């Protein structure tokens, strides 16, 4: 695509490099600058210099979703350039106060994870592990809050598609005339994005039902029929529609596997299911693991296939056999 460049930015995270996209035909626009590290900053500066720019020339910073590997560096770029910052309205709170938001989530998820059957010491470990990583992001003020259907002229018209699920406020940017979607982490070429549990936007005591929401957002990608994708990690996606369908199928298969595990162990907790499903999961992966399992239990609940009982503050799941009688 003319007037667009993809830059691969290093991150300190296990996901590896993150993709940053430059648009150069109507001023200078940076989509997802990367995390707040010196390495990321230097890589971006070197890449900008290759095209005759520096970070002080940036007019706009576009953010796909409020994860620090994507937006962490935005604050520094804005300080140098006075660039306008664009993100979905549901991402604004987390972007403007990432540490405060993280602490609010820790507070909510402590009792929540206990209610899902996770032992207390594991809960403490799981919730404290991400603390050292919070330094890779700086608060950034969003100057343009985006919603579904909004457009931005970056030399080509980008239209916003609201795709919550992997993160609240996840946005895909569609260059319809080019048949291209800048998909953030919503659709990725090699990995299945995790439907991470978070607080519901604007709430302190309600979580997102991330996986059902995520699958709805994947169906929106199918509705666009846009053929090509540029994701937040990895190579360009030459068959975006196939990749979205594959991801839906992957989740349908996993949901059936989790239904079988519930049947084998009922009544059982989400934590027990996670241990069955991923026996050797390191603590660093347990929050994503729980998000995945609870997401599938949410789907089964939405389909009236499980009943949930609660005793001693712990929720247990079993298959709803009544509907077969």
Q: How far is the CB of 98 from Zn ion (least distance, A)?
A: 13
Q: How far is the CB of 231 from Zn ion (least distance, A)?
A: 9
Count Cα atoms within 13 angstroms, Cβ side, for 154: 33
Nearest CB to Zn ion, comparing residues 93 and 185? 185
Give the largest CA-CA distance in the chain: 71
Q: Looking at 50-58, 181-189, 272-280, 310-318, which segment touches Zn ion (CB under 5 A)?
A: 181-189
Q: How far is the CB of 86 from Zn ion (least distance, A)?
A: 17
CA-CA-CA-CA torsion sign (99, 13, 86, 208)? negative
Nearest CB to Zn ion, comparing residues 15 and 314? 15
Nearest CB to Zn ion, comparing residues 142 and 188? 188
Q: Evaluate whether 223 touches 164 at the Cβ level (below 8 Å).
A: no
Q: Evaluate whether 248 touches 234 at the Cβ level (below 8 Å).
A: no
Nearest CB to Zn ion, comparing residues 81 and 198? 198
Tokens representing residue 271 in the block = 């934590």
Of residues 41-70, which lie at the interface with Zn ion (CB under 5 A)?
67, 69
Q: Looking at 184-192, 222-230, 243-251, 282-290, which segment touches Zn ion (CB under 5 A)?
A: 184-192
Question: Does residue 186 interact with Zn ion by CB under 5 A?
Answer: no
Q: How far is the CB of 324 from Zn ion (least distance, A)?
A: 39
Q: Looking at 109-117, 121-129, 230-238, 274-282, which segment touches Zn ion (CB under 5 A)?
A: 230-238
Q: How far is the CB of 65 from Zn ion (least distance, A)?
A: 6
Q: Looking at 44-52, 79-87, 100-108, 178-186, which segment touches Zn ion (CB under 5 A)?
A: 178-186
Distance CA 228, CA 179 (A): 6
End-to-end CA distance of the chain: 57
> Which residues lie across from 21 on neighbouring strands?
6, 31
Question: Does residue 232 interact with Zn ion by CB under 5 A?
Answer: yes
Q: Evaluate whether 271 touches 117 at the Cβ level (below 8 Å).
A: yes
- Give the residue among 65, 57, 48 at the shortest CA–CA distance from 9: 48
Nearest CB to Zn ion, comparing residues 188 and 261? 188
Nearest CB to Zn ion, comparing residues 39 and 302? 39
Q: How far is the CB of 87 from Zn ion (least distance, A)?
A: 13
Residues in contact with Zn ion, counted by CB under 5 A, come to a total of 4
Question: Does residue 185 interact with Zn ion by CB under 5 A?
Answer: yes
- Give the residue among 273, 148, 272, 168 at the shortest CA–CA distance from 210: 168
Q: Looking at 25-33, 50-58, 84-92, 228-236, which segment touches Zn ion (CB under 5 A)?
A: 228-236
Distance CA 176, CA 185 (A): 19
Distance CA 187, CA 247 (A): 8
Q: How far is the CB of 301 from Zn ion (least distance, A)?
A: 25
Distances (CA, A) of 95 to 86, 100, 223, 263: 11, 10, 29, 41
Q: Looking at 128-136, 179-187, 197-205, 287-295, which segment touches Zn ion (CB under 5 A)?
A: 179-187
Q: How far is the CB of 208 from Zn ion (least distance, A)?
A: 14
User: Residue 242, exposed/middle/buried by CB under 10 A (0-12, 13-18, 19+)?
Assistant: exposed
Q: How far is the CB of 83 from Zn ion (least distance, A)?
A: 21
Give the footprint of Zn ion on this chain (CB under 5 A). 67, 69, 185, 232
């Amino acid at each position: 695509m003319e007037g667009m460049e993809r830059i691969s930015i290093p991150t300190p995270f296990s996901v590896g490099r993150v993709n940053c996209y430059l648009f150069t035909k109507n001023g200078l626009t940076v989509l997802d600058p990367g995390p707040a590290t010196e390495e990321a900053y230097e890589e971006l500066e070197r890449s900008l210099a290759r095209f005759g720019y520096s970070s002080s020339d940036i007019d706009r910073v576009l953010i796909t979703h409020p994860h620090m590997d994507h937006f962490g560096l935005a604050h520094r770029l804005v300080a140098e350039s006075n660039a306008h910052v664009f993100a979905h309205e549901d991402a604004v709170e987390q972007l403007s106060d990432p540490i405060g938001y993280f602490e609010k989530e820790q507070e909510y998820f402590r009792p929540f994870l206990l209610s899902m059957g996770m032992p207390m010491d594991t809960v403490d470990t799981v919730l404290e592990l991400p603390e050292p990583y919070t330094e890779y992001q700086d608060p950034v003020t969003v100057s343009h809050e985006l919603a579904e259907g909004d457009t931005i002229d970056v030399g080509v018209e980008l239209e916003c598609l609201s795709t919550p699920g992997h993160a609240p406020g996840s946005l895909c940017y569609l260059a319809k005339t080019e048949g291209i979607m800048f998909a953030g982490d919503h659709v990725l070429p090699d990995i299945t994005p995790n439907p991470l549990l978070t607080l519901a936007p604007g709430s302190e005591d309600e979580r997102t039902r991330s996986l059902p929401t995520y699958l709805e957002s994947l169906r929106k990608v199918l509705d666009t029929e846009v053929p090509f994708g540029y994701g937040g990690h990895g190579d360009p996606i030459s068959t975006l529609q196939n990749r979205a369908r594959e991801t839906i199928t992957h989740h349908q298969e996993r949901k059936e596997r989790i239904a079988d595990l519930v049947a084998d162990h009922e009544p059982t907790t989400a934590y027990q299911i996670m241990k069955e499903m991923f026996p050797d999961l390191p603590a660093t992966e347990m929050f994503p693991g729980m998000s995945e399992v609870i997401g599938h239990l949410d789907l089964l609940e939405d389909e009236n296939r499980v009943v949930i009982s609660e005793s001693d503050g712990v929720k247990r799941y079993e298959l709803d056999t009544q509907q077969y009688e």
